Structure 1
Amino acid sequence: MSVTPPAIPVLDSIEGLSGRCRAWLVDIWGVMHNGRRSFPRAVAAAQAFRAQGGIVVLLSNSPRPSPSAQAQLRGLGVPDDCYDATVTSGDLTRHELAKHPGALVFHLGPERDRGIFDGLDVVLVSPEEAELIVCSGLFDDETETPDDYANLLRDLAARDLPMICANPDHLVERGAELIYCAGALAAVYEREGGSVVYAGKPYAPIYELALETIDRLAGESVAKDAILAIGDGINTDIAGAAAAGIDSVFVASGLHVPGGGEEELDREHLAELFAHAKRRPLGAIRALAW
Structure 2
Amino acid sequence: MKALEGLREIAGRYDAVLSDVWGVVHNGIAAHPSAVEALVEFRKGGGRVVLITNAPRPSPPLIEMLDRLGVPRDAYDAMVSSGDATRAMLEPYRGKTIHYVGPPEENDSLFEGLDITLGSAEAAHAVVVTDLDHDDDTPDLYNDRITLWLSRNLPLIAANPDRVVEHGDRLIYCGGALADLYEARGGMILMAGKPYKPIYSEALRLAEAAAGHKLDRSRILAIGDSVRTDAIGAAGAGLDLLFITGSIHAAELDAFGTPDPAAINALVGPSGANLAGFMPRLAW
Q: Does TM, normalized by the shorter one, top 0.5? A: yes
1:163 to 156, 166, 182: 156
Letter in 2 for 1:161: L
Task: Pick one of 178, 190, 198 that aligns with 2:171.
Answer: 178
Q: Where does residue 35 of structure 2 map in the other structure?
A: 42
1:249 counterpart = 2:235? no
Specify which of 65, 70, 81 is matched with residue 72 of structure 1: 65
Which letter does structure 2 place at the counterpart of 1:159? R
Aligned equivalents of 2:68 and 2:258: distance in 1?
31
**Residues 68, 261 of structure 1: alpha-carbon distance in 2 compared, 3 angstrom cutoff:** farther
Aligned partner of 1:131 among 118, 125, 131: 125
> How far off is 1:139 after superposition?
0.5
Q: Which moved more, 1:151-160 or 1:241-250?
A: 151-160
SS in 2 for 1:282: strand
How many matched pairs? 282
SS state of the match for residue 93, structure 2?
coil
Work out the CA distance in 2 between the residues paired with 1:126 and 1:219.
Answer: 47
Residue of structure 2 equivalent to 1:88: 81
Greater mean alpha carbon deviation, residues 209-218 or residues 167-176: 209-218
Q: Which residue of 1 aligns with 2:94?
A: 101
What is the aligned partner in structure 1 of residue 138 from structure 2? Answer: 145
Residue identity matched to 1:139: D
Task: Report if aligned partners of 2:231, 2:268 keep a CA contact under 8 Å in 1.
Answer: no
Alignment-derived partner of residue 32 in structure 1: 25
Alignment partners' CA distance in 2, 1:147 and 1:59: 29
Question: Separation in 1 of the partners of 2:100 and 2:137?
Answer: 17
Residue 158 of structure 1 deviates from its aligned partner by: 2.1
Cα distance in structure 1, aligned partners of 2:142 and 2:100:
14
Gapped regions of structure 1 (runs ≥ 5): 1-7
More helix, by proportion:
2
1:199 counterpart residue number: 192
User: Please, what TM-score do these two structures have when normalized by structure 2?
Assistant: 0.96
Equivalence for 2:55: 62
Displacement after TM superposition at 1:260 (Å): 7.3
Tell me if the contact between 1:131 and 1:161 (Cα under 8 Å) persists in the aligned partners: yes
For normalisation by structure 1, the TM-score amounts to 0.94
Secondary structure in 1 matching 2:10? helix
| Distance in 2 (alpha carbons) for counterparts of 1:164 and 1:266 | 37
- Partner deviation per Cα, 1:221-259 (whole Å, 9 max, x = no partner): 111111000000111011100111111110002311317
Identity of aligned residues (%): 43
1:182 maps to amino acid: G
Residue 12 and residue 166 in structure 1: after superposition, are their counterparts in 2 closer, same or farther (change >3 A)? same
Q: Secondary structure at the match of 2:250?
A: coil
